[in-house]
Amino acid sequence: MATIRDIARVANVSVPTVSRVLNDRTVAEHLALRVRQAVKDLNYMPNRAARRLRGSGNRLWGAIFSDITNSFYTEVLKGVEQGLSAEEATLIFGNANSDPAREANLIQVMREEGVSGLIIAPTSEEKAGLQPHLDDGFPIVVVDRRMNGLDVDSVSSDNLHAAFNATMHLVQIGHRRVGFIGGPDRLSSARDRYAGYLEAMRAVGLATEPSLTRFGDYHMETGFAEAQHLLSLAQPPSAMLVANNEMVIGALNAIHGAGRKIPDDIAIVGFDDFPWAISLNPPLTTVAQPAQMIGRRAAELLLERVADPALPARAVTFETELIVRMSCGSGAAQTDKNGLA
């Protein structure tokens, strides 16, 4: 996608001159003609954010998430709406369905519709997808991701310490063979949760056996398959940490399907706390992320970015909370399958 720098280069004028033409300010006619021709030749799509903010009409904002079927993103979206509630705002939402091509098309469509800025949980953390839009001055805030080499505002949870604390809890109540079902390595949330698990196991001198670590795609089906694999081991884990709410549903189905009892046969801790967690039998121990707070803060950063494009990129990180319920057993030390206290 062409940027104002590309237009300046093709038209052989300065970037400020391009900006003045695009904002209908007075410029020498021969320069304006060159800029307009470059805009046409490059099929440039202008950012309408500043114009909308200066006007009195309804403002459009965009939100694109990689998978809206994940209830975590539903809660984040509620927070975004709350954060924009003081604005005369219309929020346009898109579900990328974990498809980078679909995501790129959604961004293009939203920009053509004139959204003033975008909140996005990208399908990929490679900068190629968002860099051209940032170069163009388009305001973007990323949620639940840490982008590689990209100066962009972001809001996320402290996933490493969240997984560390969850794993340490299982160890402290007596588990020694702790299985882990993580997400795709391409996502920083998944890498950080795996790193937190490893750090906790090493901190107490426990081996991290390769057979006890499995990786899915943050969907229920892979949670089911990977939990089945762990349960089928000759020495299965006495506990497992499952690194997102969709996969933990699959893992619970696998445990029940195998006739194992929670927490007598195997303890389980999940990620993301929602009303259904306390309704399970037994209620599920989970890592709670402040999803709505993440959405609200992302909206605030977006409004600030649009108002002042020169702000340095900011990274906001929220702490999580381990909510202990009966799925991991009582606070008393338990004995795992190998008889270790």
Q: Is residue 229 pLDDT above 70, yes or no? A: yes
Return the closest-CA partner of residue 270 out of 163, 176, 198, 192: 163
Please tell me the predicted confidence (pLDDT) of residue 46: 63
Is 276 within the bounds of a domain? yes
Given the DSSP bridges, would you call strands 89-95 and 267-271 parallel, antiparallel or unpaired?
unpaired
Residues 246 and 300 in one domain: no
User: Do residues 183 and 163 lie in contact, with contact meaning Cβ atoms separated by under 8 Å?
Assistant: no
User: Do residues 213 and 182 lie in contact, with contact meaning Cβ atoms separated by under 8 Å?
Assistant: yes
Q: Is residue 47 pLDDT above 60, yes or no? A: no
Share of the chain above pLDDT 70, in %: 91
pLDDT, tens digit (0-9, with 9 covering 90-100), for 249-298:
999 999 999 999 999 999 999 998 888 888 888 999 999 999 999 999 99
Residues 284 and 194 in one domain: yes
Question: At what angle are helices 220-231 and 245-257 packed, to 10 degrees?
Answer: 40
Q: Is residue 15 pLDDT above 80, yes or no? A: no
Is 71 within the bounds of a domain? yes
Is 334 within the bounds of a domain? no
Please tell me the predicted confidence (pLDDT) of residue 341: 31
Is 244 within the bounds of a domain? yes
Residues 213 and 110 in one domain: no
Is 341 within the bounds of a domain? no
Residues 169 and 284 in one domain: yes
- Tallying the residues shown for the chain, one arrives at 341
Residues 2 and 85 in one domain: no
Q: State the CATH number of the domain containing residue 227.
A: 3.40.50.2300
> Residue 153's beta-bridge partner residues?
141
Per-residue DSSP letter, 159: H
Q: What is the CA radius of gyration of the chain?
A: 24
Residues 153 and 301 in one domain: yes
pLDDT, tens digit (0-9, with 9 covering 90-100), for 295-305:
999 999 999 99
Is 336 within the bounds of a domain? no
Is 333 within the bounds of a domain? no
Residues 17 and 133 in one domain: no
User: How many domains, in total, are found in the chain?
Assistant: 3
Residues 269 and 305 in one domain: no
In this prediction, residue 331 has a pLDDT band, given cuts at 50, 70 and 90, of very low
Average pLDDT of every residue of the chain: 88
Task: Count Cβ atoms below 10 Å from residue 289 Cβ, excluding itself.
Answer: 26
Q: What is the pTM of this model?
A: 0.80
Write out the DSSP string of 52-101: HHHSSS-EEEEEEES-TTSHHHHHHHHHHHHHTTTSSEEEEEEE-TT-HH
Is 335 within the bounds of a domain? no
User: Do residues 167 and 241 lie in contact, with contact meaning Cβ atoms separated by under 8 Å?
Assistant: yes
pLDDT, tens digit (0-9, with 9 covering 90-100), for 131-161:
989 988 899 999 999 898 899 999 999 999 9
Residues 196 and 277 in one domain: yes
Name the residue range of residue 35's domain: 1-44
Using CA atoms in the order 243, 160, 236, 223, what is the torsion angle rounded to 10 degrees?
10
